[in-house]
Structure 1
């Protein structure tokens, strides 16, 4: 067994044990036949394909084949929300504060976050023009650029968006990687259209905004919370409508989006408990603690629901 075959068999562990015993040799043999003579490790596309296949088979073994359509619905809504935010932040970065206010800027832009926002807007366009692998690559690039913005904050002369802005954007982007390969044309262009409307609306409001507003004020908190609550309302309404037709996609989509929605509304959740009868601004400790809880709930909600339904069905 050479290194390439060994690495393919490691990836094959994504499949259920019984499936590996009956089909494992066939799957690995197919990938080896398609590999180049000098390949030493699986390509990223092959690795992603094996992981997706393993997830499908595990869901089928758990009797939860309806989960993936719900995750794909959540991915479409996630890209739409991410594009709306990116469009708003992009317009915001086009209006840096006046130099006499003492705020740093990056040339004609307010922050280095503009690199990530442009990447997100391009990803939304790619989703409309070339769904499938091209879209996933564009989204992956946008996610990586958003992550790359974080360490730039250590440079005083390079202002960046707040972590409360970047974290939900990354979470939405990771979920967007589950977009369907062949979506209906309406859902393909929904993110780009939503981004265009947001950009035009923000441009209309921009002249009335204070020159000093940035990523750390209540304007940002309000926008994040509004998008988070709006996303939750939309998916809940979809879930209710689909449930009338005995379609569970909306339920799975709602559970999938709990994590991103929680990160979008992080400030509200962290300050939800009043102190001495008065609303308090959340501390960094409460924000960090709430972020950990929200992330844990977001990651665990969907698999927990799948396991719970499996146990109920077995009784």
Structure 2
């Protein structure tokens, strides 16, 4: 056995055990036949193809072939929610705090949050106008900027948005990475339209208080709760749509979005146990919410696996035989 064949066999662990036993040799043999002479490592495209095929096979084995459409639906809703929040939070970033409060602003902006929100607005613009090869990196850049804002603030001493603003934005961004590869042209304008409408609403509905006197005057729980409520209603509406047998895409989307919805309503959930929740209560609630969503998702996958009918052995990818 060559080193290349051994490495392809390791990648084959992405597939269920029964699939590997039935079709593993044929799959690896096909990749070896197509590999260039002298190659020692699988091509990145081959590794990605095996990972995708393994995931699809595991979903078929679990009777959850509608999970991937559910992930994409959740990604669309998460991206719209993240865009709306970024547009809303960008407005107060244009009004730095008064000097006597000693907040380390970033140039003409109130905090490092301006970089994060600008990255998200650029991602929304990219989804509308840029080709796919540029839109995806812009989305990754927005997620990376959100993840780095807290450590960069700790190192530089510059002001940043509070954690109850950054954390749900990061979770929404991670989910948004599952956006479908192709979006209808009419739908591509929706993120940018949402951003424009939210900016206009924020500028007109929020009182013009001039320079902010501290984060307490700007970073309130009203905007996250509003976006979280709309996101919950949209996910529930998608889950309640009548579907075909074993079609649970809206339900998967709802389960995936439970964590960011809970984080957006963190203060209200923490108030269930304490009228004026302190930091420890908020942190404990955040941990509980972060564990509940994935736990329910895994439980639903397990239940689907138990209820799904046995799938026949998949046909050979080269000869088409199902024996």
Q: Normalising by the residue count of structure 1, what TM-score does the alignment of the two structures yield?
A: 0.84
Alignment of 1:1-315 (within 5 A): 8-25=8-25, 27=27, 30=31, 33=34, 43=44, 48-129=48-129, 134-155=134-155, 157-205=157-205, 208-209=208-209, 211-212=211-212, 215-216=215-216, 219-240=219-240, 242-243=241-242, 248-274=248-274, 279-280=275-276, 282-313=277-308
Change (3 A) 1:233 1:270: same
Say which is worse superposed, 30-39 or 53-62, in terms of deviation.
30-39
Structure 1, unmatched stretches of 5+, are: none
The CA deviation string for residues 200-256 of structure 1, in whole angstroms up to 9 with x for no partner, is 22233456236326555675311111111110011112222x226775321111111
Q: State the aligned residue count.
A: 308
Q: Is the 8 A contact 2:79 2:176 kept in 1?
A: yes
Structure having greater relative contact order (Cα 8 Å, sep ≥ 6): 2
RMSD over equivalenced CA pairs, Å:
3.1
Say which is worse superposed, 200-209 or 171-180, in terms of deviation.
200-209
Change (3 A) 1:198 1:307: same
Q: Is the 8 A contact 2:239 2:250 kept in 1?
A: yes
Change (3 A) 1:206 1:36: farther
Give the Cα separation in 2 of the matches to 1:312 and 1:128.
41
The residue number in structure 1 matching 2:313 is none
Give the Cα separation in 1 of the matches to 2:127 and 2:37.
30
Q: CA deviation at 1:46?
A: 5.8
Give the Cα separation in 1 of the matches to 2:220 and 2:227.
11
Q: Normalising by the residue count of structure 2, what TM-score does the alignment of the two structures yield?
A: 0.82
Say which is worse superposed, 76-85 or 31-40, in terms of deviation.
31-40
Change (3 A) 1:8 1:296: farther
Structure 2, unmatched stretches of 5+, are: 311-323
Change (3 A) 1:108 1:205: farther
Q: Is the 8 A contact 2:127 2:188 kept in 1?
A: yes
Give the Cα separation in 2 of the matches to 1:98 and 1:135.
37
